Chains A and B, each alone.
Chain A
Amino acid sequence: MQEISSYLAPRRLDQALQAMADGAATVLCGGTDLALQTESGARHYKAKLLNIRRIDGLTGIEVKADQVRIGAATTVSDIRGNPELATIAPVLVEAAEHFASEQIRNAASLGGNICNASPAGDMIPPLLVLGASVELACWRDGAVQTRLMPLEGFFVSPGKTVKLAEELLTAVVFDRPAADFVARFKKSGPRPALEISTVSLALGARLSNGKLSEVRVAMGSVAPTPLRARHVEAVLEGKALDAASIAAAVASAAEDAKPIDDVRASAWYRGHLVRVFVEEVLNDVRGN
């Protein structure tokens, strides 16, 4: 049986962090993962249920000259409808576009998508190719302490991250992409709406004079965590984007993607889709 002894909905960050300090609080944001997991018994509530949606400053998209900062409680709908993001990081808006349904997008938060640490979390591959970092905060020594770490090192296994129980994810930050930055997102599933990704893929790179640099490729649902596809990246780094480099990238995808068979798809199909998507996004960027 799950017994929640108290429900908290603080307005201030320090109040929330103090409530979390003993590691005995369950964080609730949109609840679109949490409610399902507790309902099915896969997860149990801790003594305190902490609603973080009312915390000042935890919601919002801030685009500065050199940096973008998105509050953890920002909803997927907010991201989908943000005109500034649509120009500087359309890949994120694209992922929001293919996310769940209207109702779920209105509730689902960016922070929740990351902290849920599903290999199929759709906002994660685009953030990985944007080189995003996560900001974690906790209450220690009588004060709010924060640390910033690359998103890439955040995931441990399905549902597990390096975040400590007393830490709250407060924001996602990434450098404003360069003018020649190109990016794409692809997601697959049998339905166009309300679909958990069978495989997802994001590409981000600078493209000038037909050559790729600072290449980042991220994959979802091909391993226990979302991952950076280092082999594909290495094959493409510094190369001209042509039929040969695309073929080489496709051929190397299998070295990064180590999918499994599960109820949604076979390992064969996931591996196949990764190759299809690598080819598709590269061709798309190339302009044919």
Chain B
Amino acid sequence: METKVTAAPIAKTTLIGQRVKKPDAPDKATGKTRYINDMVLPQMLIGKVLFAGRPHARIIRIDTAAAAKLPGVYAVLTGKDAAGLKFGFVRDNVALKDKVRCEHDEIAAVAAETEEIASRALELIDVEFEDLPGVFTPEAGAATGAPLVQEKFPGNKSLSFEFKHGDLAAAERASDFVVDNVFRPHHVTHCCMGTSCAIADFDHNGKLTIWTQTQYPYNYKMDLAPALGIDPGDIRVIQPPIGGAFGSKLDVYPYEPIAALLAKKTGRPVKVIYTREEEFRASPTRQAAIIHMRTGCSRDGTLTFRSADVLLDNGAYTSWGPTIPVIMMRTTSGHYRVPVVDFKAQAIYTNNPYAGSFRGYGNVQTTYATAQQMDMLADLVDIEPLEFHLKNAQKSGEYTPQQSFLRECALAECLETAAAASDYSRKRKEYAAARELPGRYKKGIGLASSIHNAGGAKIHKSDGIGTMLKVDDFARVTVITGASEIGQGIDAVITLIVAEELGVPLEHVTIVNTDSDIAPWDVGVHASRTTFIAGNGTRRAAKKAKAQILNAAAKMLGEPLETLELRGGSVVRDACGTPLIELERLLRRMHFQTEPELVMVSDYYEPNSEPEGAKHVSDHSAAYSHAVHIAEITVDTLTGEIKVDKVTVAQDVGRVINRMGLEGQIEGGIAIGLGYALSENMRLEQGLLKNPCFRDYKLITAPEMPPLDLHFIESNCAEGPYGAKGISELPTIVIAPAIANALHNATGVRIFNPPLSPEKVARAIFDAKQAGS
């Protein structure tokens, strides 16, 4: 076939590492996006939940007659309507309760014509409680004779985890220095801008469609089904745009089966949407914990062992949250080269709100401890801290005691880069020397680092993803993927990868990923896995499509296959860039020729990692990554206020894919981490939340965001897409201990129970002065 060559050559360029905007950004920024919270279906009813409002009680009597009679009310459900429909990680939860175990326990629900009627109906429900003594800390829960939160779990014991490696007693004897502290990380919550919301609708074949905010649609079906007593196959999950998840939607929460039970009862779609106060009270928390950690080293600064004895505040039910020790132990054993490890964790039921998963997944709490103990040890050994960190930093090719294989390890490079960029060593010495000098305001600098899985985490049997890709007659590409978009930016990454591989404009790529009846399997947005896993899946699918297209082109044009390339919307000669045929025309010819072909391919990608296993000795992620944060702060030693002046970040990202998305994830991650470090705190008193509003639950706001100096270290991960690693959790994990170390550098005080609120800081400094004088 003959082709006219008129166009100019198309130069080779790459999108990898460029700044690409999120495809949905214009609609979100202008208010056009219709979030799930905005959705209204024909005939839709509003569901509202009656919360117990007390931490531990028996329900003596619940009378719903008056509520049911209210005009506009279509259903009133109580515990008996969900009896036996157990769900949750250890099947200890039901959608509607007949006993109260925490303040937000859902004890009744109504579906009504309007929200106002639903609220009025709730007021008409008459409940008689008999309050029971409760347990509000893990220690209290673990004490002998403590009241039982869950009757079937003696000793209030939920999940437990253990990992031991090497001879602890011998390692302790061989240590010249040991630090031994008890850290008490606190309760915080996700504060998604979009409050929890689900809309459920049953058809007459018994199939449930649920519009929900979930970030793990497939396992979600498995987790939701038992709460309704239906087959997971009968659930269709639709994921409209949402206002944030951060791990909170990595689980089924009771409002979802409640919406479905109400829909079943009424035969109409039912929407449950939380108010901000309900969101604060009834959505998951990050685990509070008590971490007794010890780390030892020898006189020359070589780490000898680390032990951690962890009690987790499980709350009243076991969600996915209490599995965080899986990650906590990886950090305990793998944060620097630790030859001997002893890790134990026990989650204890309490009458507090129950914990879920949250960006950082246990590593936020653990790194708060490990990174401070590294700082303490450096001072004890009296060694330059950077040298101490470098001495113990793992290198490429090393294994951790749990057999995490650090194929490409850039910890040393991260340390050196961040320290040089911030002039860390000099400042740390200078500020420490200035501690005792007069002056109200003190400067401090603190370094922290951590390790996290960066190539998925095989805690399920699979960590894989399905991808389908089609290219239509107009050279428009549709990617049908299991990867969920929850704001993190996988949409931009997928678009970028397809445009990179197929040489089409970014705007010509469409993603279909919001309907479980269409999109293939994926295990969800978690473990910093999506760019790694879905990036690989997309790339593999795109390469298959590309092979099909170029083969057809080679045949049609009579050109050698290996000389052809896709670029700028055309098939070109790779060497010179000369366009041979426009992609659209080629595709139409392929389609309409005598032996017609359509370009539609599929791929299943399973990363090269091993299942976690009960012994926790496995290479559970296809990649691991490190980050170093250096925080520079000014402390008002009288009011205790900490101003963060600057944060220097060096993170091993493998390879930058979408630079703008990467920056956004690091900035957002640090905002969450700073809130954790400085101001966010769920004030629970006897299981009751005292600050369920943004006035008193203090997020970091724009003026407190410090300037960030970001350094991306590219270690080129062999398994990652274009060399990339997962990046999204480390920024949240590392910042808090960097601030805590800076506080110590500035003032000499350490605070073991975050947040480092002005009051705590002022008190600690005041007490230290009293003790000193």
Q: Which residues of A contact B (CB under 8 A)?
A: 1, 40, 188, 190-194, 196, 198, 263-266, 268-269, 272-273, 276, 280
Contacts and interface: CB of A to CB of B under 8 A. Distances in A.
Give 4 closest A-B pairs by Cβ, nearest first: A269-B759, A276-B638, A193-B703, A263-B690
A269 B683 contact: no
Contacts, number: 47
5 contacts: A40-B277, A188-B758, A190-B678, A273-B639, A276-B638
Nearest to B756: A190
A188 B758 CA distance: 10
Given A191-B679, A191-B698, A192-B703, A276 B639 contact: yes
Nearest to A280: B638
A194 B766 contact: no
Contacts of B702: 193
Contacts of A264: 696
Nearest to A265: B759
B5 to A, nearest CB: 59
Interface string B653-692: 0000000000000000000000000110001000000110
Given A188-B758, A190-B757, 5 more contacts: A190-B679, A190-B758, A269-B762, A273-B639, A280-B638
B193 to A, nearest CB: 15
B473 to A, nearest CB: 50
Chain B contact residues: helix, strand, loop or mixed:
loop
Contact of A272 (B120, B703, B762): B762
A122 B701 CA distance: 20
Contact of A263 (B679, B691, B763): B691
B641 A190 contact: yes
Contacts of A190: 641, 678-679, 698, 757-758
Interface residues of B, number: 24
Nearest to B277: A40
Nearest to B685: A263
A198 B695 CA distance: 12
A106 B701 CA distance: 19
Contacts of B167: none
A40 B692 CA distance: 11
Given A190-B758, A191-B698, A192-B703, A272 B766 contact: yes
Contacts of B758: 188, 190, 198, 269
B128 interface: no
Contacts of B757: 190
B704 interface: yes
Nearest to B643: A192
Contact of A191 (B638, B701, B766): B701
Among B638, B679, B691, chain A packs the most CB atoms within 10 A around the CB of B638
Among A191, A263, A264, A276, chain B packs the most CB atoms within 10 A around the CB of A191
Nearest to B641: A190
Contacts of A1: 120
Contact of B701 (A40, A194, A198, A280): A194
Contacts of B696: 196, 263-264
A266 B701 contact: no
Interface in B103-125: 120
B498 to A, nearest CB: 40
Nearest to A276: B638
Contacts of B704: 191-193
A266 B759 contact: yes
Among A188, A190, A276, A280, chain B packs the most CB atoms within 10 A around the CB of A190
A193 B705 CA distance: 12
A264 B681 CA distance: 11
A210 B696 CA distance: 42
A40 B695 CA distance: 13
A276 B703 CA distance: 24
A110 B759 CA distance: 30
Given A191-B701, A192-B703, A193-B702, A268 B639 contact: no
Contact of B639 (A188, A191, A196, A263): A188
Contacts of A268: 763
A66 B277 CA distance: 49
A196 B763 CA distance: 20
B416 to A, nearest CB: 34
B701 A269 contact: no
Contacts of B695: 196
Nearest to B637: A276
A196 B693 CA distance: 13
Interface in B610-655: 638-639, 641
A110 to B, nearest CB: 20
B740 to A, nearest CB: 16
Contacts of A273: 639, 762
Contacts of B679: 190-191
Interface string B264-276: 0000000000000
A263 B683 CA distance: 8
A21 B105 CA distance: 46
A269 B763 contact: yes
A146 to B, nearest CB: 35
Interface in B685-733: 690-691, 695-696, 698, 700-704
Contacts of A266: 759
Contacts of A269: 758-759, 762-763
A88 to B, nearest CB: 29
A266 B763 CA distance: 10
Nearest to A186: B639
A198 B757 CA distance: 12
B626 to A, nearest CB: 31
Nearest to A192: B703
B551 to A, nearest CB: 59
Contacts of B277: 40
A265 B503 CA distance: 59
Contacts of A191: 679, 698, 700-701, 703-704
